[in-house]
Amino acid sequence: MPHQHTTPDHVNPLARLLALDALVHEELIKQAVAVALSHTDIASVARIIDVGVGTGAGAFALVEEYSAAHVLGVDLDADMLAGVRQRADHRELGDRISTALLDVGDPDFDAGVADLIWSSNVLHEVRDPAVALRNLFRSLRPGGVLVVMEMDASPSVLPPSLQPVERALRVAAGADGLRVDWSGPLRAAGVDLLETRTAASDQLLPADGAAGEYAALELQRLLDHASPTLTEQIAAEVRDLVADLSGSHRRLTELHIRGTRTVWVARRL
């Protein structure tokens, strides 16, 4: 297994955002795992591949439910994989979770064969999703199940009074209406589409905890991607909110965090 230098979550903003996302949107992962469980027999799932494992939120939720399974976390980011191994060791799950540095878009992708493949918020990042889907299909045993999840749009984090600001920011960042539909490409890859489900969470959370840090990072990420169509007035308002959520003056005490994701479940015939 290739080992490279590692960057801890607190200095890797993407890893930090993903870790906070998993915490704040834990309910969405639970809902998606429940969908996977409804289509699989726990005893017949010995090997799971989590493609684009990131910080491992899916992998850790899956080993908990599939008590006899081993999870291989695949990613093309060596730092992410090192973080997953560290967390697995820390939770004494080092013998149940391993990692492999692989690109699912590589035509020679080989992660072995799995009973269950999970891929959350990854396929939209892959250069040629058709190649990736063929790879996933090849990596499933006959009868094996594939679970793909994607965000329907960027999550929203601000309370109702500030939603016009957040909406303008999302539009300027091109993060509104991101919805991708993998139903057609999944069928084209040769799997039998069993179900498409929406997972949703809607929570009021205190702004001074993990939700505040998450919201600040998410708003800053959108600001970094915003086009010049964003007015200076809104940009200034967002900068102020990011500072506020980072602890500068605490104008906001409560956040309204909402997220929806689509879950596709398919089976290799």
Ligand X SMILES: C[S@@+](CC[C@H](N)C(=O)[O-])C[C@H]1O[C@@H](n2cnc3c(N)ncnc32)[C@H](O)[C@@H]1O
User: Which residues here bind ligand X, judged by CB under 6 A?
Assistant: 18, 22, 52-54, 57-58, 74-77, 80, 103-105, 120-122, 125-126
Nearer to ligand X, 75 or 166 (CB): 75
Nearer to ligand X, 201 or 241 (CB): 201
Q: Closest distance between ligand X and the C-beta of residue 142, in Å?
A: 24
Cβ neighbour number for residue 211 with a 10 Å cutoff: 22
Nearer to ligand X, 90 or 127 (CB): 127
Which of 111-146 are b and which e, b meaning 16 or more Cβ less than 10 Å from the residue's Cβ? beebbbbbbbbbbeebeebebbbbbbbebbeeebbb
Closest residue to ligand X, Cβ-based?
Answer: 54
Q: Round to whole Å and give the CA distance between 60 and 229.
A: 40
Q: Closest distance between ligand X and the C-beta of residue 239, in Å?
A: 25
Closest of 157, 161, 250 to residue 201, by C-alpha: 157
Q: Closest distance between ligand X and the C-beta of residue 105, in Å?
A: 4
Q: Closest distance between ligand X and the C-beta of residue 173, in Å?
A: 15
Nearer to ligand X, 219 or 241 (CB): 219
| Beta strand ranges found along 69-208 (DSSP E) | 70-75, 97-101, 114-120, 140-151, 191-206
